[in-house]
Structures are given as C-alpha cells and as structure tokens.
C-alpha cells in the first residue's frame, strides 16, 4: 500500500503509474478526503480542549456549590455529542479513503518498460536451444493420452473441466519434479522449506495484494470467509504479518510446495486444453524478506535460482522483463521465465520473479529494527515460482518426446524416478 504522505508529495508520479498500468483510481478524491480528515482532526482537538476547559469549570463550580454548575454540565453534554459526531465523520472519511487507497497499485520501478500488453515485454536473455525432431512433434495432450499418464476426460466426473488426473508414471513424474526442486532450493540455494496451510484468511490476500481486485478468480469457502490459495506466496508472506523482525534475521528465504487454486474466470479456447490453464496446479514458491538496500540484488539472485531448475533439466527458455501493463498489482518490477513448448510451438510462462519493494510489507505490517536501533523500517518482499507445474510438465513431455512415443527422462531426474530413464508407451 502506498503511504498517503507519499501520494500527497508525488501526485503526478502516482497518476502516471496508474496511466501506465491502464488502471483508474480517483486520486483527486482521495486527496480531498485527506484534507477533510485533517480539518476535522483539528476540530476534534479544539473540541477536546473546550470540553476539558468546561469540565474544569464544572469542577470548580461544584466545589463552590455555585448555581451555574448545571448549566455548564449541559454545555458538556452538547460538546460531547458534537465530539462524537465529529469522530463519526472522521471514521466515515477514513473508510472512504481506505477503500480508494487499497485500489492503488505499486509504483513501477524505473527499469520497467511502459507498455500496453505482452507484446511490449522486453526479452532479457535466453538459455539453450529449442529441441529439433526428425518427426512431427506431438502436443503434451497427445503424449499424455498415448502414454496413459494423464487423464483429462475421467477427471471431469470428479471435479469438472479444467482439472487433471495423473496416473502411474505421470503421478510419479509430478512428484519427482516437486522433490527435485525442493531439494535444489533447500540444499543449494539455502531456502527454508515450509509446509503451509492451503486455506487462508481474507486479510492475508489483502496483504499480498490479490484482494480486493482478484476476488472473482478465487475459490472461496463462503461460510467461513476463507480462500483456497492461488499461490504459496500468500501464506509464506503472511508468516510474519504484524511482526517486527530483527536486523540479524534478514534476509529470510522461504520455499514451499503447494497446490494452487485459480478459477481462471474468462479462460477459453486453446488455453483451456490439457495442462496449459487449469484450476488446480502444483508449484514450488520462493519468498524473500530482505532489507531495502539489498532488494535489487536479491531479485537477480531469485531469478537465477528459478532459472537453474530449467537449466538442470535441459529445457530451453527465455527471460522477459514485464512492461507496466503486465505487472501484477503489488509488483514494482518483474521478470517472467518462459519455457519453450515444442509441441505447442510457443513459450509458456512457468515463473514470475517479482520485487514488491515495501508495498506488501506496508499492507501486512512487516517491519524490522535496524542494527543499532533507530526508526523501524518496512522490509522488502520478493517472490518467484521455482517453478510452476503443470506448464513445466507440458514443456518436459514435448521436449523429451521420442519418435517411438516414449519420453526420455534427463539424468538429474532419474534418481527421483526410481532410476527409470524413459516413460514408455502404455
């Protein structure tokens, strides 16, 4: 959340940020409300001073048994009622102000290109080469059906469309990839593994910035006002909600495996076939709490940690810097990692590595005490997928497919697959 003082002092910066993102929030109304609140607060102070003076007079009159005491008591009652009305007016203004302020997204970092859509994202680098075949490559949908490792038809009887049912070596492949990534991030990249709940409170999603704008994309347990998580970023970031961390605790690195749940309202066409856009998918998430002065370097390290997953598995990918219109609500800057899917003939996003500056920390109340004391500061939060399934499974199957219908398993994953070097046709 942006501090109201920052908004007052940087009105044009905030308005430009909204234009660049293609969003609308009435900043002028917000500032008018802020001025009204300040005026009312001054009136409250004056009312409080007057009430205290009258109270003192009443006390003296009572001690002297003066006949004017009742008149002054009546004045106090009137002043108290006016005081309550002023307080109620302030509460209403604060409510309106908060309703507007919570809709203002983070300010894009100066390195973020201004753009209207994905065509304005900027490629930063690529790794590896697209696989070449001496046969017509098949889609992951065809491969999975042929190998009998993922069922997209029977699952509809269980949960409806937009879900996947993994069988046999398909289920084992999913589990192998999860364990491979967790081991890499915890043993080599020094993240602390966390197993969080998959259901969170409304306030957690507000803190990380998914609410209120993305509520239509959420699965909600309405009776309890709880939400299935769209990403492990939400429970991991909220581990320290409302806390003051010590300087020596930072940086903090967390990683978690969770399923993720997204309604994907409005999805249609080719995007809904197979694993490319489904309502429940597995993901390894990486979250960092860092000091502001190390934030930029930490984002680059986070990106490298996510990239290494694809490098070890030999999957061709590219890194793109997102433009203003593509940034998430809370992000100040973001890199997407897009893996090449040979059967689809296109890149698929498998990770977004974002810096949120102090935006989430302000919403969630996460601060730290600098070494040597001084004023408390907000931490910077970062997160990225390290990486997301099922799109990586799409790229994996389509990259390692063979002419005989089998799928080769790359060396780093074979131990996790019980030593198998191929997934054979069923």
Identify the CATH number of the domain in which residue 175 sits: 3.30.930.10
Token pair recorded at residue 88: 């109620």
| Same domain flag for 12 and 89 | yes
Residue 13 has pLDDT above 70, yes or no: yes
DSSP character at residue 113:
P
| Same domain flag for 171 and 57 | no
pLDDT of residue 65: 57
Token pair recorded at residue 241: 């909600």
Token pair recorded at residue 57: 């007079």
111 forms beta bridges with none
Rounded alpha-carbon distances, angstroms, from residue 302 to 38, 287, 324, 381: 42, 9, 21, 12
pLDDT of residue 81: 78
Instruction: Band the pLDDT of 303: cuts 50, 70, 90.
Output: very high
| Same domain flag for 258 and 154 | yes
| Same domain flag for 352 and 323 | yes
Q: What share of the chain is helix, strand, coil (3-state, %, to 5)?
A: 45, 20, 35
| Same domain flag for 97 and 231 | no
* Chain mean position to CA 384: 9
pLDDT of residue 271: 59
**Domain-embedded: residue 107:** no
357 appears as a binding residue in the annotation:
no
**Domain-embedded: residue 33:** yes
Q: What is the pLDDT of residues 116-159, one digit of tens each?
A: 999 999 999 999 999 999 999 999 999 999 999 999 999 999 99
272 appears as a binding residue in the annotation:
no
Residue 268 has pLDDT above 60, yes or no: no
385 appears as a binding residue in the annotation:
yes
Residues of the chain with pLDDT > 90, as a percent, come to: 84
Residue 123: CB atoms within 10 Å? 11
232 appears as a binding residue in the annotation:
yes
- CATH number where 17 lies: 1.10.287.40
pLDDT of residue 145: 94
Query: In this structure, is the dihedral angle defined by the CA atoms of residues 31, 34, 36 and 39, taken in order, positive or negative?
Result: negative
Judged by DSSP in three states, 202 sits in helix
pLDDT of residue 63: 57
| Same domain flag for 198 and 63 | no
Domain of 203 in residue numbering reads as: 118-423
Q: Per the omega criterion (within 30 degrees of 0), is the bond before 390 cis?
A: yes
| Same domain flag for 298 and 334 | yes
Contacts of 147 (CB under 8 A, 6+ apart): 169, 170, 405, 406, 407, 423, 424, 425, 426
Instruction: Band the pLDDT of 410: cuts 50, 70, 90.
Output: very high
Mean pLDDT for all residues in the chain:
92
415 appears as a binding residue in the annotation:
no
pLDDT of residue 415: 97
414 appears as a binding residue in the annotation:
no
Residue 233: CB atoms within 10 Å? 31
d(CA 33, CA 44): 16
| Same domain flag for 330 and 393 | yes
**Domain-embedded: residue 106:** no
Helix segments in 188-228, DSSP class H:
202-208
369 forms beta bridges with 246
Residue 270 has pLDDT above 60, yes or no: no
**Domain-embedded: residue 108:** no
Residue 362 has pLDDT above 60, yes or no: yes
d(CA 115, CA 48): 52
| Same domain flag for 350 and 215 | yes
pLDDT of residue 269: 54
The model's pTM is 0.91
**Domain-embedded: residue 376:** yes
| Same domain flag for 377 and 408 | yes
Residue 47 has pLDDT above 70, yes or no: yes
231 appears as a binding residue in the annotation:
yes
pLDDT of residue 68: 63
pLDDT of residue 255: 98
d(CA 162, CA 270): 12
Judged by DSSP in three states, 184 sits in helix
| Same domain flag for 92 and 193 | no
What are the two backbone dihedrals, phi and then psi, of residue 406, each rounded to the nearest 5 degrees? -80, 170
Instruction: Band the pLDDT of 208: cuts 50, 70, 90.
Output: very high
246 forms beta bridges with 369
Instruction: Report how far apart the first and last C-alpha atoms of the chain are (Å, whole number).
Output: 53
Q: What is the pLDDT of residues 56-97, one digit of tens each?
A: 666 665 555 555 656 666 666 776 777 788 888 999 999 999
pLDDT of residue 49: 77
55 contacts 76 by C-beta, under 8 angstroms: yes
| Same domain flag for 344 and 243 | yes
* Chain mean position to CA 306: 16
**Domain-embedded: residue 109:** no
**For the chain, how many structural domains are there in total?**
2
> Which of 101, 136, 158 delimits the end of a domain?
101
d(CA 102, CA 99): 6
Instruction: Characterise 213 by phi-psi region: left (phi > 0), alpha (psi -120 to 50), beta (else).
Output: alpha
> Which of 70, 101, 132 delimits the end of a domain?
101
Strands 244-246 and 367-369 come out as parallel
Residue 345 has pLDDT above 70, yes or no: yes
161 appears as a binding residue in the annotation:
no
336 forms beta bridges with 320, 352
Residue 267 has pLDDT above 60, yes or no: no
**Domain-embedded: residue 174:** yes
126 appears as a binding residue in the annotation:
no
Token pair recorded at residue 181: 């990534």
383 appears as a binding residue in the annotation:
yes
Judged by DSSP in three states, 293 sits in helix
**Domain-embedded: residue 177:** yes
422 contacts 369 by C-beta, under 8 angstroms: no
> Which of 45, 67, 101 delimits the end of a domain?
101
* Nearest in space to 340 (alpha carbons), one of 321, 364, 315: 315
Q: What is the pLDDT of residues 308-334, one digit of tens each?
A: 999 999 999 999 999 999 999 999 999
pLDDT of residue 72: 60
Residue positions annotated with a catalytic role: 262, 277, 349, 352, 391
191-201 mean pLDDT: 98
């Amino acid at each position: 959340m942006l501090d109201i003082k920052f908004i007052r002092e940087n009105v044009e910066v905030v308005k430009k940020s909204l234009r660049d993102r293609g969003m609308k929030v009435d900043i002028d109304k917000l500032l008018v409300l802020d001025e009204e609140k300040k005026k009312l607060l001054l009136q409250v102070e004056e009312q409080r001073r007057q009430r205290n003076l009258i109270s003192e007079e009443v006390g003296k009159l009572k001690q002297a048994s003066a006949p004017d005491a009742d008149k002054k008591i009546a004045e106090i009652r009137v002043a108290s009622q006016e005081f309550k009305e002023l307080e109620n007016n302030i509460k209403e203004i604060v409510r309106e102000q908060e309703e507007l302020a919570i809709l203002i997204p983070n300010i894009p970092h100066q390195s973020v290109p201004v753009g209207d859509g994905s065509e304005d994202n900027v490629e930063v680098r690529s790794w590896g080469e697209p696989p070449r075949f001496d046969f017509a490559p098949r889609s992951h949908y065809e491969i999975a059906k042929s190998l009998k490792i993922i069922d997209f038809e029977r699952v509809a009887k269980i949960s409806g469309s937009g879900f996947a049912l993994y069988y046999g070596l398909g289920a084992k492949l999913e589990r192998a990839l999860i364990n491979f990534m967790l081991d890499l991030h915890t043993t080599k990249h020094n993240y602390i593994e966390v197993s969080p709940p998959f259901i969170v409170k409304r306030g957690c999603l507000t803190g990380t910035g998914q609410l209120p704008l993305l509520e239509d994309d959420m699965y909600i347990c309405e009776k309890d006002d709880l939400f299935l998580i769209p990403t492990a970023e939400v429970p991991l970031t909220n581990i320290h909600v409302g806390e003051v961390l010590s300087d020596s605790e930072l940086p903090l690195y967390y990683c978690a495996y969770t399923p993720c749940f997204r309604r994907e309202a409005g999805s249609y066409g080719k995007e809904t076939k197979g694993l490319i856009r489904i309502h429940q998918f597995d993901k390894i998430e990486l979250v960092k709490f860092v000091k502001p002065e190390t934030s930029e370097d930490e984002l680059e390290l986070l990106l490298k940690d996510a990239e290494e997953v694809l490098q070890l598995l030999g999957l061709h990918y590219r890194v793109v810097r997102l433009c203003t219109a593509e940034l998430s609500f809370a992000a100040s800057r973001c890199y997407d990692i897009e893996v090449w899917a040979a059967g689809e003939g296109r890149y698929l996003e498998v990770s977004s590595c974002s810096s949120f500056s102090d935006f989430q920390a302000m919403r969630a109340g996460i601060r730290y005490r600098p070494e040597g004391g001084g004023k408390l500061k907000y931490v910077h939060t970062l997160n990225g997928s390290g990486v997301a399934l099922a799109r990586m499974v799409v790229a994996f199957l389509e990259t390692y497919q063979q002419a005989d219908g089998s799928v080769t398993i790359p060396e780093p994953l074979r131990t996790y697959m019980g030593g198998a070097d191929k997934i054979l046709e069923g």
